[in-house]
Structure 1
Amino acid sequence: MTKQVYKFGGSSLSSAKRYHAVANICHHLKGGDAVVVSAAGKTTDTLVRLWSCYHNQDHKGVGEVIALLKDHQCALIAELLGDKSEVYAHFIDDINAISQRAGCAELEQAWLLAHGELWSARLLAHYLNKIEVAACHFDSRDLFIVAQNNLKHEENTARCQVLKNDQLNVVTGFIASDENGSTVTLGRNGSDYSATLLGKYLNADSVTIWTDTQGVYSTDPRKVEKAVKYNKISQQQAQLLARLGNPVLHAKTLTPLKDSDIKLVVRSSYDSHSDGTKVVANEQAKAKRFLTTLASSDVFQLTNSNKESIRELSILLQHPLQPLEVDGNTLLLVPSQFGEQVAAFYQEHAVLIESNVSGVAIVSEPGSEPQLLKSAKQLLEKQSMTLRGAWSQDGFAILLGDQLLESDTLSLLHDELISAKQELAVIVAGIGNVGEVFLSQLNSQLERLNTLLPVKLVGLLRSTSSLLNGQGIALSSASEQFNEHAKTTTSEQLIEFIKELDYGHKVIIDITASEQFSLLYPEFALHDCHIISANKYAGTAELDWYENLRRLQTEKGLLWRYNTSVGAGLPINFALKDLQNSGDKITKISGVFSGTLSWLGAHYSLDKKFSELVEQARELGFTEPDPREDLSGRDVQRKLLILARELGLSLNLDDIELSAWMPTELANGTWQDALTKRDLLDKFVEELALEAEKNGKTLRYVAELDTTTKPVIAKVGLKAVSPNAAVATLTPGDNIFVINSVWYENNALIIQGPGAGREVTAAGVHSDLYWLCHKLSE
C-alpha cells in the first residue's frame, strides 16, 4: 500500500490557530499515511532553558520555566480540546514527573527534551479524532532504535509496520531509543530526519516537509525581492545546499532518501495551496543556481584529513560540513561557534587561516563555477568589499570577506548571477541515420542556438529504449552514454518524465517514421511540449484528430514545425507560410516530392527493365528495404496532404487520388514474392512509357494540387510530361516544388534541390530548431 509521510515543524504548531490549519491539511490525507510532528512553537527552546537551569542548579529558574511550559501547553489544550480532556490529564502527569525528577536530581536531558514532541503528537491525534479524522499517535522511541550512534535500519523497518492502515499515524519526531530503552535525540532538524527515516522504513511514495516557507528559493526571499522559488531541485544540489548552511533543508534529512525513488517535497503550512519544491533524483531535475549567505565563519586548513574524519567531526558538531579542495590542500569552512571544537578535534593537524569571516556561497551547474566566481568578485570589489578568500570547485563557489552581505549587495549578485533566461529542454526521438547526424550537428550548433535561448539535450529515444536525464546529456558522449545507460521505457514513463521536466520550454524532435509515436503528440501538448517532426504521420492523420491536436497546441501557445516532413531540408513549408503571411494566395502546387521516384524517373528508359532499375536503387540504399513503399506513392500522397493542410484545406488522405508506380498484383506478399512477378511490373511501366513517347513526352511521378476548382484537385501518380518541363529536367534524386499563386501566376516559383539524405534532412531539422529558439526568445 502506497503511503505518504508528512512532517509539521514547530512553527506550524505554534498556536491553536496553526493546529487548525494543520488539521485542515490532515483532513485530506489517507488512512495509513504518517504525520511526523515537532514540538510546538518554542517548546524545545523552553525545555533547553529548563535543562540549563537544572544543570546550573538554579532551582528558582526551574520552577519559573516549568510554569511557562504549563501555561503554554494548557492554553493550547484548553482551546483545542477543553481543560477536562484526557490529554490535559496526561500533560499534568508529565509536568509532575518532570518536577519530581528535577527535585530529586534525576533529570536526564534527552528524556526531558522528548516531551515537546510527545505533547504535540498526543494533542494533534486527539484533536483530529475530535473533528472526525481517525488518528492515533506513536512514540518514535518504540519505532527507532539506535545502537552505538547508528540506526538499526532492518529492525526499525520491522517495528514501523505496526502503524495503522485505516487511520492517520501521528508520530513524534526528533527522538529515538538506544538498546537499553533510554531516550536519545536525533540532533538538529531531528524531526525532518525522523520523517525521511520513516519514509524509508515504510517505503513511502513521498515525504512532505510542511514548514513556514513556500519552498526552496534561489536565495533568501526575505532579503532579495526577486528570489526565484524552484519547483524542483535535485538531491545532489539539495545536499550541497544543506552542507553550505541553507536553513530550509538539513543534509542529514536527505540521507535516507539517497538512491531511492522517494520524493521529498517542501511546502508551506501557511499557504497550503502553493505547490512547494520537490527534491528528486538527480537525473529528474536540471541544475539550478543559488546564493546562500555565510555568516561568522572560520576557515581551517587541514594537514591530515580524510572523508571519514570530516564525517566524524560533522556528527560531533551535529552540523553538516563541506570541505574545499584548493591547490592540493583541504580547507574546512565552519561556523565560528564551532572553531574551538574543530581545533581540538584535529589538534596540530588544523591551522586556522581565516577567523570570523562572512560571505556567500554560489551553487550552480557544473562548469559555470569559474566564470560565476569571476563575475561575483568583480561585483563585490565594486561594492568595496575586501575579499579574504575566493574558491570554486565542482558545483559551487565561495567568496569570503570581513562583513556580512547586505540585502542590496545580495540583490545585485542575484541579478548578475541567477539567470532568468528560460532554457529549452530537447528530447530527440529516433537516433538512427538522420538522428545520428542531427546530434553531431547539434554539438556545433549549440553556440549559435544559445545566443537565442539556452538549449540542453535531456533525452534520447530509440524504439522501446531511452536515455533520460533532466540535468542534461553531454553531446560529446551522447551515443556512448545511450549505449551504456539506456533503459527500456514505456510511453507512460516517457510522458511522466516530460511532465516532470522543470524547464521553461520543452521540445520533442521526432525523427522517427513511427505512426505509434506520432499518436503521443496530444499527450506532449498536454504537458506543454513543442514539437519538431520529420515524421509524416501526425500531419496526415484523420482530420478530426489532426484538428484537435492543432486546437490544443493553439490553446497552450505551443509551436509545431515539420519542414522536413516534406522535401527534407528544402524550405517548402517556410515558403508557403511566408507567401500566405504576406497576403498572397496559393492556387497550384505540383512537383516531384520523392527523391527515390525522382531517381527512378531520371534513369528509366525503354531499353531498360524497370524491375532491374528498382533493384539497383534498392542495393544503393535509395529505396526503402521494400521498394513497394516508394512505388505505392503513399509517401508522396502524405506529403501532398501536409502541404494542402498548410494552405488551410480540410482534406484527408482519401481525398487525394493515388495511382501507384506498379500494378496492383504486386501489392501482396514480400518484395521477393513481388520479384517473381517482375514481368508484370516491367510490362506495366513499359506500356505507359511507350504511350508517353508517342506523344513526345516522358514519365514522371508527380503530385498535383489545384485550389481553383471546386472541389479542389489533389492527386499523385505517373504523368506524361514534356521533356523540357521542370519536373523532367531534375538532377536524379532531387525534389522540385512548382508553386503558382496570385503573385506567381504566369511565372511559377520553383524550389528545387536534394529531397532526401541524412545531412540535408538533419540540417532541415536544425532549421526548425533555430526557428523555434528564435520564436521562444522573442
Structure 2
Amino acid sequence: MAKVVHKFGGSSLSSAARYHAVANIVLAHSQAGDLVVVSAAGKTTDTLVKLWQTFEQQDLHSGMDVISLLRNHQQELIQELLSGKRKAQVLIQLEQELTQVWQAFEQGNLQEAALLAHGELWSARLLSAYLQQLGVEAQALDARQLLCAPQGQLLHRVNEQQCQRLIGADKINVITGFIAADQQGQTVTLGRNGSDYSATLFARYMDVDEVCIWTDTQGVFSTDPRKVASAQKYHKICRAQAQLLAALGNPVLHAKTLSPLHGTNIKLAVRSSYDSDALGTEVVREGGCKHKHFITTLAQQDVIKVHQLEQGELEQLRRQLQTSLIACDVKGVWHLVVPQQHSGELLHHFGERAQLLESNVNGFALVAPQRELEKCQQQVKQGLSELNLNGRFSYLGEGYSLQLTDEEIGADSLGYLHQRLLGAQRQLAVVVAGLGNVGEVFVAQFAQQLARLRQHIDVKVVALVRSETLLFDPCGIDTEQWQTAWEQNAQPYTHDELLSRLAQLDYEHKVVIDITASEAFSQLYPQFAKADCHLISANKYAGTAPLVWYQSLKQELAQRNLQWRYNTSVGAGLPINFALADLQNSGDRVTRVQGVFSGTLSWLCSQYDGSESFSQLLLKAQELGFTEPDPREDLSGRDVQRKLLILARELGLELELNDIELSALMPSQLAAGTWLECQGKLDALDEFVATRAQQAAVEQKVLRYNADLRIEQGKVEAKVGLVAVPTSDPLAGLQPGDNIFVVNSNWYQDNALVIQGPGAGKEVTAAGVHSDLYWLASKLS
C-alpha cells in the first residue's frame, strides 16, 4: 500500500546528475507501492511551448530547430544515465515520438495539450528505466490512464478506482504530472504547476500518509531567501496561510496543490532535492501550528476596478488565465490586482464594468496573524515613508496586508521591510494548567502583564487545561475573552494528546505553568521536558517526589537548558526561593530555615485565644474558604512537610519526604473515616489544642505550627509540628494568615533574615506565578 507521494519538479530533473540525485532520494525515502510524480526535465516544457508557437506560425524551419533542441537534450540525458538494451529501447521510443510530432506538425494537426504532455512522459520513462537499472522494481505510468477530467472537471470517483486498479503495490510507480485525459481519451492539462496538483490528487485517491514536494528551495521562507539573507525558513506552516500565499502569487506552493488535502490528515512537506538531508517545511492542518509572518513581493501589476462581479466569475477567470487574481473588496466595489500581461484580457472580458486604476505598479503582501495585521499595517506605512516609496494602493484583507508602490521592491528595501516587520520573531508559548481560584486570577492578570513580558519576548497563551478538558490554539488565545472561547471550543483530551500537541508546537520557547494540585499532572514533567518545555510550578508534588525521580527531572532539564521555577510552591508570592538561591550564589551557607509555612494554620493559631473552641475556628475558616474541602488535609501538616522538603532540596540537601519528622495538628484518631464522620469527634481536637495552649500560656508562650530545618556540622534535622514560642519570637507576632520564614546563615547568625507576608490567597499566588513567568521571559531574552 502506498505511504508517500514524492513529486519532483523540472529543476530537480534538469541534468543527468540531478536524475542521479533524485534516484538516491527515491531509494532512501520510498518503499514498494509509493508514487513518484515528475514534471518535464529542466526547460523541456518551455521548449515544447516554443515548438507550438512555431506551429501556430507555420514556421517549418524554426520548428525543425526546436525539434533538434528537444532531441539533443533528451538523448544527452539517456546516454548519460542508461546503458545496453535499456538505453537502446528508450532512444528508439524517443525517436518514434519525435517523428510522430513532426509529422503532425507538417500535416497541420498537432494538438497543444498532447504536445506538451511529452515532457512529463519522457521524464517518467527515463527515471523509471534508471531506477530499474539500479535494481529497483519500478514502472512508468501515464497519468492519462489514471485521471479523467472532461471540460477540466475531475471525475474523482472514477479516478480513484483507476488509480487503485493500476498503481502497483509491489513497485515504485513513476507517474507523469500535469496531464490527464477527457472521456474521449484526448489529452488535457491540469494547468500551471499541474504536477504539484497531480501529486496531491494521487495522494487523496490512494489515501497515503504524506506528500513530499521536492524542489530547488529548502522549504517555505518568511521572504525570498535569494534576496534577503536573514529570511527565516519555517519548519511548519498551516494550510490556510499556505493557501493565502498561493492566492497572492507566491511561487513555492499553489492554491490547487492544497485543495485535494482538505478534510484529510495527509501531511504535505516541501523539501530540497539539492540538499535532501535538510529539514524542509511541513504544511499542517489549521490548529497544528502557529500562524507565521511572510512578505511576498509583487511586480508589474495592474489594478482594475470592477462593478457587479457575477457569482463564480473570478474563479472561472483564474482557471482561464492560470494566474493569481487578488480580489479586494473596497467599500463594496471590487478592485482586482492582476499581472500586467493579463489585464488586457480582463478589461476586454468585463467591458464597461471595468476601469483601469493603476498600471505597472509593484509592491508586496504581508501575511500575518489576523490580530497583528493592523499594527503591521502601520509599520508598513512608516517603513515605506522611510524608504521614500510612494504608495499607490493599499488593502487590509483577511490574514494579509497588500501594498503597491511606484518602484519595484528591491533586495535592499525588502531586507529593510523584513527586518522591521518580522524582526527576530522569537516567541514563548504558554500552557496554563489549572483553572481553579488561582488559575482564573492568573489568566485574568495576564492581559495586564503582557506589555511587561513583551519587553523581553513575545508571549502567547496557547493552551488552557482544566481537569480532563483542553482549550488549544497554537496561534494564541485571547485571555480577555477566554471564557467564551472555552465554552465554544474546549474539548476533552488525554495526557498523550496534550504531550503530542506540545511536541508539535513550533515556538522558539515553550513553558508549562502548573497551577493544579494534581500529583498525576506533575508526573508528566519529564515528558514536558522532552518536549522542550520550561516549567513553572505552584504544584508541590514534583518538588517533593522521590529523590531519584526528582534528580532525573533536574538532570533532563539541565541537559536541555530548560528552566524550572517554583517560587509559589512555598509561600505563595513571598520570595523565599529567590532569597535562598541568592544567599548561596553569594557564597553564604544557610544553617537553619524555620517558620510558619501554611496560611491556613497561621490563621487558626493566630486567631485562637481560648475564647472560642479551636473546632469552631476551623469551621469558620472552612466557610471562608481558607481550608481544603477536608480541613484535615491542612491539620495533617503534610502540606507544610512538603514545603519544607522543597526548601531543603533548594539548599542542595538530598532528603526524602519521610526524612522530615511530622506531627499533625490533631489527635491521631481524627485521621480515620470521612470528614463528615469526623465532625462528631471534634471535641478531641479541642482538647488536643486547649491542653497545649494552656501549657504554653503558663510559660508565656503561644502556639504556632512550625517547620524547622537545621544543618549543623554536616548533620540535617528536619521536623514539622506544633510548637510553643515566646511572645518575643518573630513567629509570635504573625498576622493571621501570614507566612514567615526565618533564615540563619553564616552571615545571618545572630540576627536572622526574616521574610514575612501573606502566605495564601489567590491574588498573591497568581502574582507570584507571574513573577516566575517574568523572570523566565527576561532570562530568555
Question: Aligning the two structures, in what range does the TM-score lie when normalised by the shorter sequence?
Answer: over 0.9
Is residue 590–residue 739 contact of structure 1 (8 Å, CA) maintained in 2? yes
Match of 1:438 among 429, 435, 442: 442
The one of 460, 468, 472 aligned to 1:464? 468
Contact 1:74-1:83 at 8 Å conserved across structures: no
Compared CA separation, residues 497 and 695, structure 1 to 2 (3 A): same
2:111 equivalent among 86, 108, 111? 108
8 Å CA contact 2:365–2:400 kept in 1: the answer is yes
Hey, what does 2:389 align to over in structure 1? 385
Q: 1:208 aligns to what?
A: 212
Shift in Å at residue 479 of structure 1? Answer: 1.6
State the match for 1:94 in structure 2. Answer: 97
Aligned residue in 2 for 1:476: 480
The residue type paired with residue 392 of structure 2 is: R
Structure 1 position 255 matched with structure 2 position 256: no
Question: Is 1:217 aligned with 2:221?
Answer: yes
How many angstroms apart in 1 are the aligned matches of 2:134 and 2:678? Answer: 77
Over 3 Å counting, the alpha-carbon distance change for 1:307 and 1:727 in structure 2 is farther
Q: Counterparts in 2 of 1:749-768, with a 5 A limit?
A: 749-768=753-772
Which residue in 1 is equivalent to 2:182?
178
Q: Within the alignment, does 1:58 sit opposite 2:62 as a pair? A: no
* Distance in 1 (alpha carbons) for counterparts of 2:708 and 2:299: 74
Worse-matched range after superposition: 23-32 or 181-190: 23-32
Q: Partners of 1:693 and 1:306 in 2: how far apart?
A: 92
Query: Which among 535, 540, 543 is matched to residue 539 of structure 1?
Result: 543
In structure 2, give the amino acid aligned to 1:239.
Answer: Q
How much does 1:607 deviate? 5.6
The CA deviation at 1:674 is: 2.8
**Worse-matched range after superposition: 161-170 or 547-556:** 161-170
Q: Which residue of 2 aligns with 1:4?
A: 4
Q: Unmatched 5+ residue regions in structure 2?
A: none
Residue 46 of structure 1 is matched in structure 2 by: 47
C-alpha contact (below 8 Å) 1:633/1:659 kept by paired residues: yes
Cα separation, 1, equivalents of 2:377 and 2:702: 70
Q: Secondary structure at the match of 1:148?
A: helix
Shift of 1:660: 1.7
**712-721 vs 608-617, greater mean Cα deviation:** 608-617
For the 8 Å contact 1:588–1:705, the answer to whether it is kept is yes
Partner residue, 1:279: 283
1:507-532 CA-partner distances (Å, limit 9, x unpaired): 11111111121122122222221111
In the alignment, the residues of structure 1 paired with residue 107 and residue 84 of structure 2 have an alpha-carbon distance, to the nearest angstrom, of: 29
CA contact (8 A) 2:4 2:211 kept: yes
Whether 1:35 aligns to 2:36 is yes
Give the whole-Å Cα distance in 2 for the aligned partners of 1:134 and 1:468: 45
Query: Which residue is equivalent to 2:581?
Result: 577
Flag structure 1 segments of 5+ consecutive residues without an equivalent: none
Structure 1 residues 303-324: Cα deviation after superposition (integer angstroms, max 9, x where no partner): 1125622111111111132212
Number of the residue aligned with 1:631: 635
Q: Check conservation: 1:373, 1:390, Cα contact below 8 A.
A: no
1:368 match:
372
CA 1:597–1:31 in 2, change beyond 3 Å: closer, same or farther? farther
Partner residue, 2:556: 552
CA distance in 2, matches of 1:718, 1:141: 87
Q: Is the 8 A contact 1:268 1:274 kept in 2?
A: yes
User: TM-score normalised to the size of structure 1?
Assistant: 0.96
- Superimposed CA distance per residue, residues 117-144 of structure 1 (whole angstroms, 9 cap, x where no aligned partner): 1221222222223223333332222222
How far off its partner does 1:48 sit?
Answer: 1.4
Q: Which residue of 2 aligns with 1:125?
A: 128
Q: Deviation per CA, 1:60-96: give whole Å up to 9, x if none.
A: 3333322322222222222222263143343333333
How many residues get paired? Answer: 777
CA displacement at 1:562 relative to structure 2: 0.7
**1:150 match:** 153
- The answer on whether the counterparts of 2:152 and 2:190 sit within 8 Å (CA) in structure 1 is no
Shift of 1:413: 1.8
Contact 1:563 1:574 in 2 (8 A): yes
Which residue in 2 is equivalent to 1:409?
413
Q: Which amino acid aligns with 2:78?
A: I
Greater shift in the superposed pair: 624-633 or 679-688: 679-688
Match of 2:685 among 638, 657, 681: 681
Q: Which sits farther off after the overlay, 506-515 or 486-495?
A: 486-495
Show CA shifts across 1:532-581 (max 9, x none): 11111111111122112112222222111111111111111111112222
Q: Which residue of 1 aligns with 2:137?
A: 134
Within 1, Cα distance between the matches of 2:708 and 2:614? 24
Q: CA deviation at 1:192?
A: 0.7
Counterpart of 2:109, as a letter, is E
Q: Is the 8 A contact 2:2 2:169 kept in 1?
A: no
Q: Is the 8 A contact 1:592 1:701 kept in 2?
A: yes
The whole-number CA distance in structure 2 between the counterparts of 1:157 and 1:476 is 48
For 1:154, the aligned partner's letter is R
Distance 2:435 2:188 in 1: 56
1:454 aligned partner:
458
Two-structure CA RMSD over aligned residues (Å): 2.0
Name 2:514's counterpart in structure 1: 510
SS at match of 1:403: coil
Q: Give the Cα–Cα distance (whole angstroms) in 2 for the partners of residues 134 and 367 of structure 1.
A: 52
Question: Secondary structure at 2:95's aligned position in 1?
Answer: helix
The question of whether the paired residues in 2 share the 8 Å contact of 1:282 and 1:471 is answered with no
TM-score (norm 2): 0.95
Report the equivalent of 1:565: 569
Flag the 1:681–1:313 CA change in 2: closer, same or farther, 3 A: same
- 1:292-331 alignment, distance < 5 Å: 292-305=296-309, 308-331=312-335
The structure 1 residue matched to 2:238, chosen from 209, 234, 249, is: 234
Counterpart CA distance in 2 for 1:347 and 1:37 is 40
For residues 649 and 405 of structure 1, the distance between their equivalents in structure 2, rounded to whole angstroms, comes to: 62
1:736 equivalent in structure 2: 740
**1:690 positional shift:** 4.0
Provide, for residues 378-427 of structure 1, a one-character-per-residue CA deviation record: whole Å limited to 9, x for no partner: 44344443332233333222222333222222222222222214111111
How far apart, CA to CA, are the structure 2 residues paired with 1:615 and 1:122?
Answer: 85
Distance 1:301 1:160, change over 3 A: same
Contact (CA 8 Å) 1:284, 1:471: kept in 2 or not? no
1:519 & 1:126 partners in 2: Cα distance? Answer: 55
Counterpart CA distance in 2 for 1:439 and 1:158 is 53
- Are the aligned partners of 2:2 and 2:35 in contact in 1 as well (CA < 8 Å)? no
